[in-house]
Amino acid sequence: MNLISKFDPWRSSVCTCPSKLTLNPYTGCDHMCVYCYASSYIPRFNDCRPKKNLITRLRKEAAKLKGETISMSNSSDPYPNLEIETSLTRKCLEIITEQSCRVQIITKSNHVVRDIDLLRKVPSTVSITITTDDDAVGVLVEPKAPLPSERLEAVETLVGKGIPTCVRVDPIIPFVNDKPESLMETIAAMGVKHVTSSTLKIKPSIWPRISTELPNIAERLKSLYFKRGERMGGYIFLPKDIRFALMATIGLLAKKHKLRFGTCREGLSCLNTAPCDGSWLLNGRLGL
């Protein structure tokens, strides 16, 4: 099985991402987010481990690349806590930037700033997921990930170093982080140009974690998802009117702060003002 493959999330009809390749240096992730979708299809998900013979295999596969766009990573975070010891994502970046590939990083970690020197060599974007600007809420929903305040510092550093940076306010969980006004204001003031958002979808593997970690919230979410929710592709979505209202509100905040906006896997591309994955920013800055 190849390490680099066509990006095809969930084979989902509601994905509006432009065509690209994807590379996951790790299987699993140690950030332990309560809402993690990938934990529903990857065995032993929180046992984060590097892909077997990662660097040797990648060198072989990368020799055939010719400047394609590679997204890192879509199934598991490319900067888990384990990366601090292994630097494997950095080694991957060294290889793919040698092939002049365009790079999209998606992470929940401030450790991405370590690799700014490599990201400056090619057209690149970094999308940092920040679901809240309240560290206490962050610890509740993303217990082993760097704090939201640390991620915000990373956003400031990336923007300051000229790396086009998006923020994923994603997922929006009703009653938890559905009022991101101050977060949107903060990131706009930092110079972020694009925000992507989506609402929480429920998988059978996700619901027990939410019920355990957020029991009061789960009680309030139950009827929204299980009585009124929409079933699509093995996931339970919030009712469409609620999803539309949540996404439209964030779209309006984006407009107010002059940010481009994309919804992710909502079937609401009517609200998008730019490609959902922020890839338009790849054209904003050519490699130095």
Q: Quick one: which segment of 27-35, 53-61, 207-215, 270-278 binds ligand SF4 (CB under 6 A)?
A: 27-35
274 touches ligand SF4 by CB under 6 A: no
Asked if residue 4 lies in contact with residue 70, where contact means CB atoms within 8 angstroms, the answer is yes
246 touches ligand SF4 by CB under 6 A: no
Kindly identify the residues of this chain, within the stretch 111-150, that bind ligand SF4 according to CB under 6 A: 145
33 touches ligand SF4 by CB under 6 A: yes
Residue 67: C-alpha distances to residues 97, 103, 285 (Å): 9, 9, 15
Residue selected from 77, 115, 133, 277 as contacting ligand SF4 according to rule CB under 6 A: 77
76 touches ligand SF4 by CB under 6 A: yes
Residue selected from 23, 24, 31, 261 as contacting ligand SF4 according to rule CB under 6 A: 31
83 touches ligand SF4 by CB under 6 A: no
264 touches ligand SF4 by CB under 6 A: no
What is the closest distance, in whole angstroms, from the C-beta atom of residue 108 to ligand SF4 in the complex? 4
Q: Which is nearer to ligand SF4, 62 or 183 (CB)?
A: 183
36 touches ligand SF4 by CB under 6 A: yes
Verify cis geometry, omega within 30 degrees of 0, for the bond prior to 197.
no
277 touches ligand SF4 by CB under 6 A: no
Q: Quick one: which segment of 30-38, 89-97, 247-255, 259-267 binds ligand SF4 (CB under 6 A)?
A: 30-38
Residues that bind ligand SF4 in the complex, under the rule CB under 6 A: 29, 31-33, 36, 38, 76-77, 108, 145
